[in-house]
Amino acid sequence: MRRILVAALSGIFLGSTFAADADAQRRRATLPDGEGKDVVEAACLACHPVRTIAATSGYTAAQWPQVVGTMIDLSKTPQERDAILAYLNRHFPPNTKNAPKLIAGPVQVSFREWVVPTLGQRSRDPVEAPDGSIWWAGQWSDLVGRIDPRTGAMKEFPLPAGAKPHSVLLDRDGGVWYTGNKNATIGKLDPATGKITEFRMPAGVKDPHTAKFDANGILWFTAQHSNMVGRLDPKTGEVTAKKMPRPGSKPYGIKIDASGAPWVSCNGKNCLLRIDPKTMDLKEVLLPHEDTTVRRLDIAEDGMIWYVNSGRGRLGRYNPKTEEIREWASPSGPKSHPYAIVIQQGAIWYNESRKRPDALVRFDPKTETFQSWPIPSGNFYAGIIRHMRTTRDGGLIIHQSSTNRIIKVTIKGP
């Protein structure tokens, strides 16, 4: 049965495969009984637990076709399409059970969306190139793509089968790189020829995740499920990796500070990590509360490490000089699961990924105040942002991976 990416229904992709029959039965039991249930089960459960549908904010009869249409073309099987849409419309109308708490404020934002060509690719991690073009990773379709914002033209570049790129990034010369999350590679694309140069990971590193170039052109990366961090020298092809101090730390986000030292967030434990760029010695910073987990982090001009406390629904700041740690409760509460984060125009921007709609949040460190907005996906809201970057004109580049949207955010106001 063709794969329908039901992550778009709730915006929560859990990423695991569910092979056990008992587990499949458990997931099926969460769907309401009714005509069309068997069609939805057959189409959806190949990739996702049913609870992703149950967590949706629901849509109207006019919106459901748009939601499903971002994932797969069902025009050639109208009977299947109509059964799926009728079931979803009947059992999952609009609701507010996971609605965010939106905060008004003085800043204005506008969203410009692009819908990428290949359906169901889980487009993510867009980044702006020096020429103004925008690159993204199509994780589930083994591709990276480019948008020309001036014309809207898009081009997709195929990657080796099974690469499943988790992220795309650019080197200081504008070269296009990606992390092969499922085939243990880091690759470089030549857009002029489509040629791919692959760098194989050493034993133990199976899932390159997020990466960042330092000022010397060295590529630093995390490998979440391998519980390792590493570096790649593009000139020699040498890859060096080290285990995290604690099992299950799940290194996730990575940024480079002004001294050239990489900082890493822990998605499995209550920690941040500093890597010595010369020796690769690892220094762990313990964060308060054992249920703290950190998806991503960013570093301000004053050296402060800002992070999202995803496990507890908070925004945090670590001062490397004084070792002081402060946290602020996110507007939508402890279950909001802050995810992506970036610093732009002196403010901290992040999203509340377990709310529907996915909320874009701004925190002003000077006044310690929040402001937030719902992130659209065309005529509906479906989440979520998994990585966030800045633009040269003072805006943000975000995405809605569940609905194939790449979005540029223009910021106006104080």
User: Please, which residues have CB within 8 angstroms of residue 119's CB and are 6 or more apart in sequence?
Assistant: 69, 70, 71, 72, 73, 404
Per DSSP, the residues of 382-406 read ----S--EE-TTS-EEEEEGGGTEE
Tokens for 109, please give them.
Answer: 């934002």
Supply the pTM of this predicted model: 0.90
Per-residue pLDDT of the chain (414 residues; tens, 9 = 90+): 333 333 333 333 333 322 333 334 434 447 889 998 988 887 766 666 677 777 778 889 999 988 888 777 788 889 999 999 999 999 999 888 889 999 999 999 999 999 999 988 999 999 999 999 999 999 999 999 999 999 999 999 999 999 999 999 999 988 999 999 999 999 999 999 999 999 999 999 999 999 999 999 999 999 999 999 999 999 999 999 999 999 999 999 999 999 999 999 999 999 999 999 999 999 999 999 999 999 999 999 999 999 999 999 999 999 999 999 999 999 999 999 999 999 999 999 999 999 989 999 999 999 999 999 999 988 888 878 999 999 999 999 999 988 899 999 999 987
- Pairing outcome for strands 185-189 and 176-180: antiparallel
CB 222 within 8 A of CB 210: yes
DSSP per-residue letters across 227-264: TEEEEE-TTT--EEEEE-SSTT--EEEEEE-TTS-EEE
108 DSSP β-pair partners: 412
What are 69's two structure tokens?
A: 């249409």
Angstrom distance (rounded) from CA 58 to CA 51: 13
Confidence (pLDDT) at 47? 60
Paired with 128 in beta bridges are: 134
C-alpha distance across the termini of the chain, in Å: 52
For residue 238, give the amino acid letter: E
The span from the CA of 407 to the CA of 362, in Å, is: 17
Residue 115 C-beta-side C-alpha neighbours within 13 Å: 12
Q: How far apart are CA 42 and CA 85, in angstroms?
A: 14
Say what the pLDDT of residue 46 is.
63
CA distance 194 to 187: 12
